[in-house]
Amino acid sequence: MKISNKIKSKSGLAIVLSRLKGFEKPDARLEQYPTDSEIAAEILWFGLQNKDMEKVIVDLGCGTGILGIGALILGAKKVVFVDIDPKAIGIARENIEFVKSELKINFSGKTEFIVGDVNELQGIAADVVIENPPFGVKKRHADREFLERAFGIADIVYSFHKAESTDFIDDISRKKGFKATHFWRFDFPLKQTMDFHRKRIERIKAGCWRLERVQ
């Protein structure tokens, strides 16, 4: 399984990911904000170079699928897309079709789709979890729930959170036998998709952690 021959660079990947469809009517309670395509490409391209992509991957809280689809393009063996919102999963499926049939980017990785609450997931194992979950703004501890689930699924976890969550991430990782190997800081653009947003693009300080089980 090799990276699609049409994608030769991180910026090439970002361009493809920028063409994917986002949420139609984002649900604020579920904190439905898609990952920015440049940021997604940055992390996934690192994952490729770090040999974390040619694996079985779970995209937890996949939304419209940008992270998992990027992983498929970079040669993932299989991606399991999980989200509580069936409409988001529907768009993720459409996006995969779009990449294959319109952009003519082929990939041979398998796909699986699960509509369900991360807290009720059972019997899932993978090599890597990639997640940009709710940041726990609307539902307290939603970020913690995702992280705990991720630790139960794989030995390697890429997880996005608010930058100010650093202490909590360190703490919970240590308790669960994980350590942070890499950290990226981003100004996360939250595009104005929800009624209560005033500025057109709000930016929040966020980060992505690569966490690995301590052997």
User: Residue numbers of the site for ligand SAH (CB under 6 A)?
Assistant: 30-35, 61-63, 66-67, 83-85, 88, 117-119, 132-134, 142
Task: Tell me the closest approach of the beta carbon of residue 165 to ligand SAH, in angstroms.
Answer: 15
Q: State CA 106 to chain mean position distance.
A: 20
- Which residue in 156, 2, 18 sits closest to 73, CA to CA? 2
Smaller CB separation from ligand SAH, 127 or 131: 131
- The helix, strand and coil proportions of the chain, stated in percent and rounded to the nearest 5, come to 35, 25, 40
State whether residue 126 is helix, strand or coil: coil
Task: Tell me the closest approach of the beta carbon of residue 65 to ligand SAH, in angstroms.
Answer: 7
Task: Tell me the closest approach of the beta carbon of residue 103 to ligand SAH, in angstroms.
Answer: 18
Task: Tell me the closest approach of the beta carbon of residue 28 to ligand SAH, in angstroms.
Answer: 11
* 30 vs 185: CA distance, rounded Å: 23
Q: Are 20 and 66 in contact (CB under 8 A)?
A: yes
Smaller CB separation from ligand SAH, 95 or 214: 95
Smaller CB separation from ligand SAH, 177 or 187: 187
Smaller CB separation from ligand SAH, 85 or 127: 85
